[in-house]
Amino acid sequence: MTKKNFLVSIIFLLVVCALPFLVSDYRLFQLTLVLVYAIALLGLNMLTGYNGQISLGHGAFYAIGAYCAAILMDKYGVPYWATIPLAGIVCLVAGFLFGLPALRLEGLYLALATFALGVSLPQLLKYHHLEKWTGGVQGIVIAKPDAPAVFAQAGLPLSADHWLYYFTLAVTITMFVLGRNLLRGRVGRAMLAIRDNPIAAQAMGVDNALYKSLTFGVSAMYTGVAGALGAIAVQFVAPDSFNIFLSLAFLVGIVVGGLASIPGAIYGALFIQFVPNIADSISKAAPWAIFGVFMLVFVYVLPAGVAGAVQMALSRVRRNPRRVVP
């Protein structure tokens, strides 16, 4: 990281930390959800953008993470912060296991299988034998965590909303730093190699099967962590909030934000959180019509997404054509 980049990051971080004191509680809740979606989108982007495995059912892993957090808090009294790594581990295992059969599926077929997963999961969550844990159609209501007492003692009384935002921010930054290190290093290069030419990757000694199923696991883990955070933020889980359209919203997020791009996850999260808000005033159906049109426009006109456009604009400003991403 250059000195200039470091400075920019610090300023960005300060602004993000100051936001809770500048906006209303409802806006803050939305920003918390943006952070949550950003983690989920980074997870999906690892799988689809970096590794080339298409998933149309990542809402399922988000749901598993959310339900893990809700069940652990509601039935077993686990503190909210402890549910996040647990949800991550459960989703890591679930994703790895789904990734094993997915090894035999390529492109379109994987899209089909994950689509089926996304469509059928809400129905499985309603299954009456699981009702003791999942609460059936009614779902589970969970309590909003309070800020730790330390802050009040230090003379910094934080509201529950503010605390939730900072907590989510901390998790998001951790996940992004970990993700960046993973994707920029040896593992990330192997993932890209498998996407671009699996046979050549294999010939160079990359264990395709292992990397692909592990990528599936890690991707599901990210989405599961996001699901757990999302459940805590919304304080409610129910099967119908995790329908196929959630999975498709994630797809919209990575396509609009930018495939195989880390900042793309943040742009995508802002898009899927705020565009429906604006469009809702037109019609209940408008958000998805707009999502659909944006997907088409981005595929035809701007396949690198917002992240690609930003990078292109920056390199124009710097007059350094080498920085343009092909």
Partner 1 sequence: MDAFLHQVFAGLATGGIYASLALALVMIYQATHLVNFAQGEMAMFCTYIAWSLMNAGMGYWPAFLLTVAFGFALGVAIERLVIRPVRHAPVLSTVVVFIALLVILNSVTGWIYSYTIKPFPSPFPASSFLGNRFMSPHELGSIGITFIVLALLYAFFRFTPLGLAMRAAAQNPESSRLVGIRVGWMLALGWGLASAIGAIAGMMIAPIVYLDPNMMGGILLYAFAAALLGGIDSPGGAVLGGFAMGVLENLLGAFVIGNELKLGVALVLIVGVLVVRPSGFFGKVHVTRV
Reduce the DSSP state of residue 140 to 3 states and report it. Answer: strand
Q: 64 and 227 in contact (C-beta within 8 Å)?
A: yes
Residue 289 touching partner 1 (CB under 8 A): yes
Count the residues of the shown chain that bind partner 1, applying the rule CB under 8 A: 45
C-beta closer to partner 1: residue 88 or 95: 95
Interacting residues with partner 1 between 155 and 214 (CB under 8 A): 199
Rounded distance between C-alpha atoms, residue 181 and residue 48, angstroms: 18
Rounded distance between C-alpha atoms, residue 243 and residue 248, angstroms: 9
Which residues pair with residue 141 across a beta bridge? 236
Given 23, 192, 286, 309, the residue binding partner 1 (CB under 8 A): 286
Residue 220 touching partner 1 (CB under 8 A): no
Given 178, 210, 296, 313, the residue binding partner 1 (CB under 8 A): 296
- The region of 98-106, 164-172, 229-237, 261-269 touching partner 1 under the rule CB under 8 A is 98-106
**From the CB of 279, what's the least distance to partner 1, in Å?**
10
Rounded distance between C-alpha atoms, residue 242 and residue 250, angstroms: 12
**From the CB of 55, what's the least distance to partner 1, in Å?**
10
C-beta closer to partner 1: residue 157 or 292: 292
Instruction: Cite the DSSP H helix spans in the chain.
Output: 3-18, 25-44, 58-76, 80-102, 107-125, 131-134, 149-153, 160-184, 186-196, 198-203, 208-234, 244-257, 262-279, 286-301, 305-318
The residue among 183, 186, 227 whose CA lies nearest residue 89 is 227
Q: Could you identify the residue written with the tokens 């659909």?
A: 292
Rounded distance between C-alpha atoms, residue 16 and residue 164, angstroms: 14
Give the number of residues written for the chain: 326
**From the CB of 127, what's the least distance to partner 1, in Å?**
5
Residue 299 touching partner 1 (CB under 8 A): yes
Rounded distance between C-alpha atoms, residue 145 and residue 39, angstroms: 20
- The region of 86-94, 151-159, 204-212, 298-306 touching partner 1 under the rule CB under 8 A is 298-306
Interacting residues with partner 1 between 112 and 151 (CB under 8 A): 112-113, 115-117, 119-120, 123-124, 126-128
Given 5, 24, 153, 283, the residue binding partner 1 (CB under 8 A): 283
**From the CB of 212, what's the least distance to partner 1, in Å?**
14
Given 34, 90, 255, 266, the residue binding partner 1 (CB under 8 A): 255
Given 211, 288, 312, 315, the residue binding partner 1 (CB under 8 A): 288
CA atoms in the 13 A half-sphere facing the CB of 5: 2
Given 235, 245, 263, 274, the residue binding partner 1 (CB under 8 A): 245
- Window 34-73: contact mask with partner 1 (x via CB under 8 A): --------------x---x-x-x-----------------
Residue 104 touching partner 1 (CB under 8 A): yes
Rounded distance between C-alpha atoms, residue 195 and residue 50, angstroms: 7
What is the C-alpha R_g of the chain?
A: 20
Q: Is 157 exposed, middle or buried (0-12, 13-18, 19+ CB in 10 A)?
A: exposed
Reduce the DSSP state of residue 42 to 3 states and report it. Answer: helix
Footprint of partner 1 on this chain (CB under 8 A)?
Answer: 48, 52, 54, 56, 101, 104-105, 107-109, 111-113, 115-117, 119-120, 123-124, 126-128, 199, 244-245, 248, 251, 255, 259, 283-289, 291-293, 295-296, 299-300, 303
